[in-house]
Amino acid sequence: MSRQHQVIAFVIALFCLAIFSQAKIKTPYVFAPKEKLSDYDFFKGNIAEQNPQEDVIPYQLNTPLFSDYAEKLRFVRLPIGAKATYQPEEVIDFPVGTVIIKTFYYPKDFRNPLKGRQIVETRLLVKEENTWSAWTYIWNDTQTDAFLEVAGETKEISWIHTDGKKKTIQYSIPNINQCKGCHNRDEKMTPIGLSIRQLNGTFEYTNEGTMNQLVYWQKHQLISQLPTDSTTWGKIPIWNDPNTGSIDQRARAWLEINCAHCHHPQGPARTSGLFLSYNEKDPIKFGVFKTPVAAGRGSGGLQYSIVPAKPEESILYYRINSTDPGVMMPELGRTIVHQEGALLIKNWIKSLQP
């Protein structure tokens, strides 16, 4: 090779090296779960007080999922500088690296929260490159920390209920596969509940007082593409507050959060043809005079999912009012009947015109 050719080759090599060094080589995001919840530094001070760091945003849902009467504290942490993206119907689109944090606890006395609480578990849902991953942390008896557990566990939990009676249950902490069973959309994990219509409600923030959650997210640049006209956001009512919606609206809200993660066109129960999203307009699709795809013990010998004015003849009410593992719906996430929720559905079916 001539001297001239050597110089040309050297210049080309330098040029290629410069281009390569300037290229943005994206490394796929992989979440490595930590041993203890405290290792993440989500909370300030005493971790049991659940006082979030500045970059951890507390939130609540208008109508939350029933989990054997467990109360929940909810938080989300977005990557620095990243935003969630508005979705009109489904769950908000979160950026890679987002962590959704949900802590389950029981007040010792539901009539007086000042008597203290028992925290049972904290679940993390983490947005990775093409899916979400779920991790469960179980709290120790001294309530000083929670520890990673992938196999699930059962704990005996007792509390004084709103009626003054003591309740005791065998609380089931899910394993990873059970988490995937509920958080399933087109065979990929996805969050439940974090939709615009669920977040469109007020929250009492420590530093800024009571504010609409979506206004807060918009103010702090946590969400993009949110319509400026708030009347277009949509809002789901509070299931047990008649001031927020009709019995039809509140019952449909309860069914969406408790049932529609499976009973959805892209959910695990899509083959049933029963779709229970709040915005479903077709009465047959949400159960009115709809025959079950597969009859059997789960149907209780009944003919239709909903028979207007007749809850005792409706499969929907029969299944949510059962604790039989072969009958009950939802199949996961509860071991006892949500008495107040079942009563709401019963009264809703009674109110439907024959």
Give DSSP secondary structure letters for 169-199: EEEEEP-HHHHHHHSEETTEE--SS-BHHHH
Query: Which of 224, 225, 199 lies closest to 214 in space, CA to CA?
Result: 199
Q: Is 135 helix (H, G, I), strand (E, B) or coil?
A: strand
Both structure tokens of 212: 């609409």
pLDDT for 298 = 81
The torsion angles phi and psi of 7, rounded to 5 degrees, stand at -65, -45
Strands 202-205 and 188-189: unpaired
How big, in percent rounded to 5, are the helix, strand and coil portions of the chain?
25, 25, 50
Beta-carbon contacts of 47 under 8 Å, excluding residues fewer than 6 positions away, are: 37, 38, 144, 145, 146
The amino acid at residue 343 is L
Q: Are 309 and 352 in contact (CB under 8 A)?
A: yes
What are the counts of helices (DSSP H) followed by strands (DSSP E) for the chain?
A: 7, 16
pLDDT of the chain, 354 residues: tens digit per residue: 555 554 444 445 545 444 444 444 556 777 899 999 999 999 999 999 999 999 999 999 999 999 999 999 999 999 999 999 999 999 999 999 999 999 999 999 999 999 999 999 999 999 999 889 999 999 999 999 999 999 989 999 999 999 999 999 999 998 877 666 667 666 678 899 999 999 999 999 999 999 999 999 999 999 999 999 999 999 999 999 999 999 999 999 999 999 999 999 988 888 999 999 999 999 999 999 999 987 678 888 999 999 999 999 999 999 999 999 889 988 888 999 999 999 999 999 999 998
Both structure tokens of 352: 């439907």
What is the residue whose two structure tokens read 């520890």? 147
Q: What pTM was computed for the model?
A: 0.88
Q: Is 234 left (phi over 0), alpha (psi -120 to 50) or beta?
A: left
What is the residue whose two structure tokens read 């065998």? 170
Q: Is 28 helix (H, G, I), strand (E, B) or coil?
A: coil
Q: Are 302 and 291 in contact (CB under 8 A)?
A: no
CA 353, 310, 252, 291 dihedral sign is negative
**CA–CA separation, 274 vs 276, rounded Å?**
6
Query: Which of 342, 345, 321, 337 lies closest to 250 in space, CA to CA?
Result: 345
Planar angle of CA 183, 189, 193, nearest 5 degrees: 45
Cis? peptide before 242, omega within 30° of 0: no
